[in-house]
Structure 1
């Protein structure tokens, strides 16, 4: 079993929604072909960086909310699930790598939408 590490988010790094969106589109597009493991590994690394950055912000936003029971619990559970998925790694073959990249892209997409909604509510 291999141990995976993921990049820690630097709180000083600005979230570039357009770059993250482009990475998501690229990762989801890869699903229509037969990508090699090198391509999938590169996409996974970039997505994990985006997820780590967005996850840090999402956790900070969740801590700042008034504890309204179910809403905070659901959000925390979702964020914990995303973090577990990020730690999952590519697995042993092309199929597991493909599934991992696709799932990270979807998680990143959800976090980016959460970021956009949070940014709008702060204005």
Structure 2
């Protein structure tokens, strides 16, 4: 559980740094380092989100919307940082929003944080609570 907390904490710290950049005059180098961190977190979390989306009914609107969002995040994470300072600020803020959305909906990547599903299952055994319909990320977000 500590590894999951560490991973979540690292992503949250990067998101908070990106939010602060909007109020501070960050240099292009600082923005580039932050964008690199955010891209790495997004790249780590995307496989979890994609795997859960793959298990959804492929004819559903929800599956289409989420798949489109994930493709958009993937595409944006591959883009180099804009050369203009204002565009770079905007790009970092958008990367932070994407990371926050991934973290909220899917939690940290299991390779870095362990199995959220197993942790949730062991926590729920004695409570009689139902977890049907919850994905691993949904579970991690509620832990």
2:18 to 18, 22, 27: 27
Distance 2:106 2:21 in 1: 25
- Aligned match for 1:98, one of 89, 109, 128: 89
Q: What does 1:1-123 correspond to in 2, within 5 Å?
A: 16-67=7-58, 69-116=60-107, 117-120=137-140
| Shift, 1:67, TM fit | 3.5
CA distance in 1, matches of 2:141, 2:88: 36
Q: Deviations over 1:89-108 (max 9, x none)?
A: 21121111111111000000
TM-score, normalised with respect to structure 2: 0.69
Cα displacement string for residues 62-97 of structure 1 (whole angstroms, at most 9, x for unaligned residues): 112243511100110110111121122211211111
Looking at structure 1, the residues matched to 11 and 34 of structure 2 have their Cα atoms a distance apart, in angstroms, of: 11
- SS of equivalent residue, structure 2 residue 24: coil
User: Relative to structure 1, is the Cα distance of residues 66 and 58 closer, same or farther in structure 2, using a 3 angstrom cutoff?
Assistant: same
Aligned residues: 111
Q: Structure 2: which 5+ runs fail to align?
A: 108-136
- C-alpha RMSD of the superposition: 2.3
SS in 2 for 1:27: helix
Does the 8 Å contact 2:31/2:89 carry over to 1?
Answer: yes
**TM-score by structure 1 length?**
0.80
